[in-house]
Amino acid sequence: MDNTTVFAVIDTCVLVSALRSNLGASFAILQAVRRGNIRIALTVALAIEYESVVLRPGLVPALAAEEIQIVLDALCSLAHPQKIFYTWRPFLPDPGDDLVLELAVAAGCTFIVTHNLTDFKGSDSLGIRAISPAQALNLI
């Protein structure tokens, strides 16, 4: 590892996975964000999506809503806030994925960290590479 800082957008599925288990690469991504090895970009819209998904009843059974909110607040405080002035919609089949891609483009991120690599097929034409959490960890 060469102590490179990666600038990325974290897809919601990675956050959910990290909150459900502290054993995998997704959880290590959150630790890397906390340490500053991964810088993340965030819009208000994506922060709201994070919150609406991870607070669904039963999705993260090991954590209370208050504990989840602490994690979300920490992510927001560590993130580079980004406004979106130009939308690429529709670019991807899922509008929720377009939200993530637009953020990555607007912020100048190189990567989207996701478990759903095929959902971002074609993002490379905009200079954004979809990578798994394990791949992101290999970059830092």
Q: Which pTM value belongs to this model?
A: 0.93
Q: What percent of the chain has pLDDT over 90?
A: 84
Contact assessment for residue 45 and residue 26, using Cβ atoms and an 8 Å cutoff: no
Using omega within 30 degrees of 0 as the cis cutoff, is the peptide bond preceding 133 cis?
Answer: no
Q: Is the pLDDT of residue 2 over 60?
A: no
Domain ranges of the chain: 6-139
Closest by CA position to 136, among listed 114, 117, 118, 106? 114
Q: Is the pLDDT of residue 1 over 60?
A: no
pLDDT at 92: 80
Best CATH choice for the domain 6-139 from the list 3.40.50.12500, 3.90.180.10, 3.40.605.10, 3.40.50.1010: 3.40.50.1010
pLDDT at 95: 77
Contact assessment for residue 100 and residue 112, using Cβ atoms and an 8 Å cutoff: yes
For residues 102 and 21, give the distance between their C-alpha atoms in angstroms, rounded to a whole number. 28
102-140 per-position pLDDT tens digit: 999 999 999 999 999 999 998 999 999 999 999 999 998
Residue 6, classified by CB atoms within 10 Å of its CB into exposed (0-12), middle (13-18) or buried (19+), is: buried
70-110 per-position pLDDT tens digit: 999 999 999 999 998 776 667 787 777 899 999 999 999 99
For residues 82 and 9, give the distance between their C-alpha atoms in angstroms, rounded to a whole number. 11
